[in-house]
Amino acid sequence: GISLYETLLEVVRVQLGSTSETNKRLERKNVDDDMNVFPSDLVDEDHESPASSTLRHIKERLLSSTVIPKLTRTLSQWKPQLNSSRTALATPRLDLWILPWLPHVDARIGGVPQDLAGDIRRRVRDTLSLLKRSVVLDDAFFNTSYQTLRPWVGLLKKETIQDLASKYVLPRLANLCTVLPIAIQPEEQQGKADTGTWVATLDKVVDMGSLGILSKVEYLSLLEGALLLRWVTCIYKCVLDAALSNEPVDLERVLLSSYSTWKFKLLLSPSSSKMMDSSVSVLRDDEAIC
pLDDT score of 37: 41
Q: CA-to-CA distance for 88 and 75, rounded, in angstroms?
A: 20
Using 50, 70 and 90 to split pLDDT, how confident is the model at 73? confident
Range scoring the smallest mean pLDDT among 21-35, 77-91, 103-117, 193-207:
21-35
User: By C-alpha distance, which of 157, 159, 163, 153 is closest to 125?
Assistant: 163
- For residues 111 and 187, state if they share a domain: no
pLDDT score of 201: 84
pLDDT score of 233: 84
Q: CA-to-CA distance for 198 and 227, rounded, in angstroms?
A: 8
pLDDT exceeding 70 applies to what percent of the chain? 64
Range scoring the smallest mean pLDDT among 25-29, 84-88, 182-186, 229-233:
25-29
- For residues 212 and 117, state if they share a domain: no
Using 50, 70 and 90 to split pLDDT, how confident is the model at 103? confident
Contact in structure between 258 and 235 (CB atoms under 8 Å): yes
Indicate whether 27 belongs to any domain: no
Residues 264-288: what's their mean pLDDT?
59
Indicate whether 84 belongs to any domain: yes
- For residues 147 and 246, state if they share a domain: yes
- For residues 232 and 104, state if they share a domain: no
Q: Is 81 exposed, middle or buried (0-12, 13-18, 19+ CB in 10 A)?
A: exposed
Using 50, 70 and 90 to split pLDDT, how confident is the model at 41? very low
pLDDT score of 127: 96
What sign has the CA pseudo-torsion 272, 277, 280, 282?
A: negative
- For residues 103 and 199, state if they share a domain: no
User: By C-alpha distance, which of 106, 122, 261 is closest to 198?
Assistant: 261
- For residues 106 and 231, state if they share a domain: no
Average pLDDT over the chain, rounded to an integer: 75
What sign has the CA pseudo-torsion 269, 274, 279, 284?
A: positive
- For residues 97 and 114, state if they share a domain: yes
- For residues 63 and 109, state if they share a domain: yes
Residues 124-139 pLDDT 10s = 999 999 999 999 999 9
Please indicate whether residue 3 or residue 122 has the higher confidence score (pLDDT).
Answer: 122
Q: What's the pTM?
A: 0.72
Count of structural domains, the chain: 2
Residues 248-255: what's their mean pLDDT?
74
Does residue 282 surpass a pLDDT of 90?
no
Residues 182-192: what's their mean pLDDT?
60
User: By C-alpha distance, which of 265, 260, 137 is closest to 190?
Assistant: 265
Indicate whether 201 belongs to any domain: yes
Indicate whether 47 belongs to any domain: no
- For residues 283 and 186, state if they share a domain: yes
pLDDT score of 146: 96
Using 50, 70 and 90 to split pLDDT, how confident is the model at 223? confident
Does residue 196 surpass a pLDDT of 60?
no
Cα 217–chain centre separation? 21
- For residues 247 and 148, state if they share a domain: yes
Indicate whether 42 belongs to any domain: no
Contact in structure between 282 and 216 (CB atoms under 8 Å): yes
- For residues 103 and 197, state if they share a domain: no
Domain with 81 in it: 1-15+59-136
Contact in structure between 91 and 78 (CB atoms under 8 Å): yes
Q: CA-to-CA distance for 152 and 139, rounded, in angstroms?
A: 21
Half-sphere exposure of 110 (CA within 13 A, CB side): 0
Indicate whether 32 belongs to any domain: no
Indicate whether 96 belongs to any domain: yes
Please indicate whether residue 268 or residue 74 has the higher confidence score (pLDDT).
Answer: 74
Residues 15-38 pLDDT 10s = 666 554 545 554 555 545 444 443
- For residues 187 and 65, state if they share a domain: no
User: By C-alpha distance, which of 103, 95, 157, 84 is closest to 124?
Assistant: 95
Indicate whether 117 belongs to any domain: yes
